[in-house]
A = this chain, B = another copy of it.
Amino acid sequence: MKIRQLFDYDTWTYTYILWDEATKEAAIIDTVLEQVERDLQHIKELGLTVKYLFETHIHADHITGAGPIRKATGGKIVVHKNSHSECADILADEGDEFKLGEQTITCWHTPGHTNNDITYVIEGAAFTGDTLMVRDCGRTDFQLGSNDAMYASLQRLFNDLPEETQIFPAHDYKGFTQTTIGEEKQFNIRVGNNRPYEDFEVIMNNLNLPNPRRIDIAVPGNLKCGDLES
């Protein structure tokens, strides 16, 4: 699978274009509304046919571009069923598989940041959204987030993915672009080096983060798949 990583500077969001080189069938993970024009142009130049628009979760920090890209390309919007999204085409669940050519993308339900997080797993790589991030993990204090669930999701990724698996997060705030399971098992500041749940819970309960600037427009906007006029 070919992977192209793109960055939205204003919201520190990574968008990923995946494609099967043989068939040029493509998927896009976590688009950003303000970048739709860039992304459509790039897809066109790469000669891709968009089959799927995957969301790792209903975002609180930016509005997805999935709706407008669906209109332009015919791709199907995929989100986890717990989102109760009425604009998505497919409400996915644990174990669901999607194909690009002969290549498979598998959904793992990895809640904790929200109740509707999906990690999209391909051979050798995983797109972990706001669950596993570089040396970090997503916050758990809104949108039905949960320390219990986050800890369990991170342990699952550590236990069930090979150490050399490349990890691509939805965001990074220090300039990292990727990591591996092996690195995070050792060096993740919240759960690495076998840190027990009790320590993790104390850390997470004391982050004292402000709400995302755009949460009040982002969540409703994302429940419309970014089709703000609809």
Contact = CB atoms under 8 A, between A and B. Distances in A.
Interface of A: 4-9, 15, 35, 38, 42, 45-46, 174-178, 183, 186-187
A133 B4 CA distance: 15
Given A4-B177, A6-B176, A45-B187, 10 more contacts: A5-B178, A6-B175, A7-B7, A7-B177, A8-B175, A15-B175, A35-B175, A38-B175, A42-B176, A177-B177
The DSSP consensus for interface residues of chain A is mixed
Nearest to A164: B21
14 contacts: A4-B178, A6-B175, A6-B176, A6-B177, A7-B175, A7-B176, A7-B177, A9-B9, A9-B175, A15-B175, A38-B175, A42-B176, A45-B186, A45-B187
Given A45-B183, A183-B45, A187-B45, A38 B174 contact: yes
